[in-house]
Homo-oligomer: A and B are copies of this chain.
Amino acid sequence: MVRWQAGVVVLVSMVLGAWVSLSHAAADREKLLGEPGVYGTFAAFTLDEEWAKEDQATRIAHVTVLRGVVEQHREKVAIDLYLMRGLSDHADLMFRVHAAELRDTQKFLVDLQNSLFGKHLKTAGIMNGLTKKANYVPGFPDQMKADLKTASEPGPKPYAIVIPIRKSADWWALDQEKRAAMMKEHTEATLPYHMTVKRKLYHSTGLDDLDFITYFETSKLEDFHSLILSLEKVKEFQYTRRFGHPTLIGTVKSLDEIMEILAQ
């Protein structure tokens, strides 16, 4: 069965490869992923039971539709894909979508779900957030600011983890100074893992039942584990009412890789 699957992968790659040239003018991905004031949506899906029963030709036809929908929206939104199956409960795929306007994200996801491929997707969860300028960093010591600016290690970071966070009412009742002091301690705890664990923060108060969506990428899961363990030991963690629930863990995949996995 192993060898046969390998053959299929090659075939699928060829069939799907023909689409690669069909790209539209892409959204300024760099800008959407780097600047404040951008909306980030994490949409997790499961494949329905009928997907598994479709024959391979149909599955290949349907995943090419997925590519079509992604291409069609590339002008407005930046789309990242993740394989969650096998590592997370009740989610098979996750889309991370960045857009200047949340309705562009909605248009993409509605088109996705209306498509021949999307008809096989069941929504497992949607979280919306907003990137903002760093709130507490401006008040940090210079050395700490410099440490935060050093880039993380180059090379692929295959694992992605999403942890939604809700702070307690007591947290928001603290004055800015006290919160800043605790966030300094929080940030110090993260520095040893700065090189191996990439982090990105989304503010989601009002856009969801959350205050923050924290997103991580790493090639060293053990470092990521140590990072979170350190964060549970600082004082600010006492003000966290919800941490995870769900913790979404998966692997970063290109559209081509996801299509190959789905087509098999």
Could you tell me if B119 and A233 are in contact, using CB atoms closer than 8 angstroms? no
Give every chain B residue within 8 A of A229 (Cβ-Cβ).
172, 203, 205-206
Flag if A110 contacts B85 (CB, 8 Å): yes
Residues facing B in A210-253 (CB within 8 A) are: 211, 221-222, 224-225, 227-229, 232-233, 235, 237-238, 240, 243-247, 249-251
Contact in complex: B65, A1 (CB < 8 Å) = yes
15 pairs, CB–CB < 8 Å, chain A vs chain B: A2-B68, A52-B119, A87-B106, A89-B126, A102-B159, A106-B250, A106-B251, A110-B261, A114-B264, A130-B221, A169-B238, A172-B229, A173-B238, A204-B225, A208-B247
Instruction: State in angstroms the CA–CA spacing of A113 and B110 once bound together.
Output: 23
How far, in whole Å, are A233 and B109 apart by their CA atoms in the complex? 33
A158 within 8 A of B: yes
Q: A128-B249, A130-B222, A225-B205 are in contact. Are A1 and B72 (CB under 8 A)?
A: yes
Q: Do A89 and B247 touch (CB < 8 A)?
A: no
Q: State the oligomeric state as a number of copies.
A: 5
Task: Tell whether A86 is near chain B: CB-to-CB under 8 Å.
Answer: yes
- Interface-facing stretch out of A9-17, A26-34, A41-49, A139-147: A41-49
A128-159 residues with Cβ-Cβ distance < 8 A to B are 128, 130, 158-159
A69 to chain B, nearest CB (A): 8
- A80 interfacial contact with B, CB 8 Å: no
* Residues in B whose Cβ lies below 8 Å from that of A250: 106
Contact of A225 among B52, B203, B251 (CB under 8 A): B203
With an 8 A cutoff between CB atoms, is A196 at the interface? no
Contacts of A108 in B (CB 8 A): 86
Q: Are the C-beta atoms of B87 and A130 separated by less than 8 Å?
A: no
Cα–Cα distance between A90 and B45 once the two chains are bound (Å): 11
| Chain B residues, Cβ within 8 Å of A85 | 106, 109-110, 113
CB-defined contacts of A68 to chain B, threshold 8 Å: 1-2
Partner of A169 from B204, B211, B232 at Cβ < 8 Å? B232
Complex Cα spacing A65 to B246, Å: 32
Is A125 interfacial (CB 8 A cutoff)?
A: yes
